[in-house]
Amino acid sequence: MPMLSFLIRRLLQTIPTVLAVVLLVFVLFSVVPGSIVSTMSDDADPQVELRMKKQLGLDDPVYVRFGVYIAKLATGDFGTSFRTREPVTTMIAKRAWPTLQLIFTAMAFAIVLGVPLGFIAALRPGGLVDSAAMVVAVSGLSIAKFWLGLVLMYLFALKLGWLPSFGYGDGGLKYLLLPAVTLGVSPMALLARTTRAAVLEIMTADFVRTARSKGMSETRVVKWHVMRNALVIILTTVGLQFGALMGQAVVVEKLFSWPGIGSLLVDSVLQRDIPAVQGSILVVVLFFLAINLLIDVLYGVIDPRIRYA
């Protein structure tokens, strides 16, 4: 029961967040110069421009447009793209799966490598493994994705010939690996650092010292006390990193010709396709909120002391 009321409360809390984002994007694109008409034709008749703006509702006051948009949004209608004249939901649906593939694979790579790396480093602080792990972590955080992607392409496609250098292909793993690793290196590095710091802190906590003094083996201490407590911090980092990955995916998608929402968003901004921009941003925000809601739920599973009241 407390869990259900927690979920309802959190879902209700997302409404103002979503509305604020929608309003911000709406206002922003009402004031930035440039319009879809100017991107469509270099020499459109000014009368045609006016008629087109009228037809698209672009000559209505911002508050009227916003009201219409919100009313449609409430029925699940994201509007129609100015560019392609397709429903925005259709456009996003085509891109959603490749984006999810990319982000979840990148995050899986980050977790599988980053968390053990951080743990191992923390268990032998100051040692060779720790130093090496932290060099990897700092490098991973510092390397530009564009450059890293090119290096991976060069190495695994051109020199070794193991993987294709670009494209979506059939959506299979061999096409996914390079973009996912490129995207996953930065969160992997962050997770390694966060895990190390969390484990080091927990290792010196009173309850760990108590467990040891009770004669508990080091393996059991780490497994039952250190790991579980560190996981809460790791999960928080993972949740936040999902949001960051959605933003960083733009660069990777463009570099690898990967058909995701990021490149849709960038193209839509450049061409002033306002419905597509709003739709894409909304989906990104909803995804971020959903992931963080899931993480909040997981806190309670990992640590029963966390209550949802």
Partner 1 sequence: MFRMMAIVAGLGLALATSAEAQTPRKGGTIRMTAPYGSSFTSLDIHTTQRAQDEIYAKALHRSLYIWNSAEGKPVLELAKEDVVSGGGLVHTFKLRDDAYFHNGRKMTADDIIWSYNRIMDGTKAYPGARFVRVIEGAAAVEKGQAKEISGLKKIDDFTLEMKLTEKIDPGFYFFTALTSIYPADEAAKESFLQKPIGLGPFKFVEHVPGSRIVLERWDRFYKPGKPYADKLVVSVMGEAAARDVAFRNKEIDTSVLGPAQYVAYQADPDLKGTIVEVAEVFTRYMGMNPAFKPFADKRVRQAINYAIDTDLIINKLVKGKAYRATSWLPLTSPLYDKTMKPYPYDPAKAKQLLTEAGYPAGFEFEWTTSQNESWGLPIVAAVIPMLDKVGIKAKVKQVETAVLSEVIRSGDYQAFIYSQQSGPDPQAALKCFHSSTPQSACNYMNYKNAEFDKLIDEAGQADDAAKRGQLLQKANALLYEEAPVWFFNYNKAVMAVQPWLKGIQLNATELTHQNVEDLWIDETSPAK
Closest among 303, 302, 297, 292 to 2, alpha carbons compared: 297
Residue (17 or 84) nearer to partner 1, CB: 84
Query: Contact with partner 1 (CB under 8 A): which of 168, 242, 287, 288?
Result: 168
- Note whether 77 binds partner 1 by CB under 8 A: no
Ramachandran area for residue 307 (φ above 0: left; ψ -120 to 50: alpha; else beta): beta
State the amino acid at position 80 in one-letter form: T
Stretch (H or E) spanning 183: helix 173-203
In the set 21, 22, 25, 37, which binds partner 1 (CB under 8 A)?
A: 37
Q: Which is nearer to partner 1, 35 or 292 (CB)?
A: 35
Rounded distance between C-alpha atoms, residue 229 and residue 138, angstroms: 24
Measured from the CB atom, the residue of 107 and 252 that comes closer to partner 1 is 252
Member of 21, 264, 274, 283 binding partner 1 (CB under 8 A): 264
Is residue 154 a contact point for partner 1 (CB under 8 A)?
Answer: yes
d(CA 298, CA 304): 10
Backbone angles phi, psi at 255, to 5 degrees: -65, -40
- Return the amino acid letter for 295: I
Q: Which is nearer to partner 1, 94 or 223 (CB)?
A: 94
The contacts of residue 130 (CB under 8 Å, 6+ apart) are: 120, 121, 122, 124, 196
Nearest 5 degrees, angle CA 226-CA 230-CA 236? 170
Residue 165 near partner 1 by CB under 8 A: yes
Residue with tokens 């694979």: 105
Query: Using CB under 8 A, which of 41, 131, 210, 217 touches partner 1?
Result: 41
Using CB under 8 A, which of 23, 73, 232, 266 touches partner 1?
266
3-state secondary structure of 260: coil
**Binding segment for partner 1 among 8-16, 107-115, 197-205, 254-262 (CB under 8 A)?**
254-262
Q: Is 287 in the site for partner 1 (CB under 8 A)?
A: no
Q: Which residues bind partner 1 (CB under 8 A)?
A: 33-35, 37-49, 51-52, 55, 83-86, 91, 94-95, 146, 149-150, 153-154, 157-158, 161, 164-168, 253-260, 263-264, 266-267, 270-272
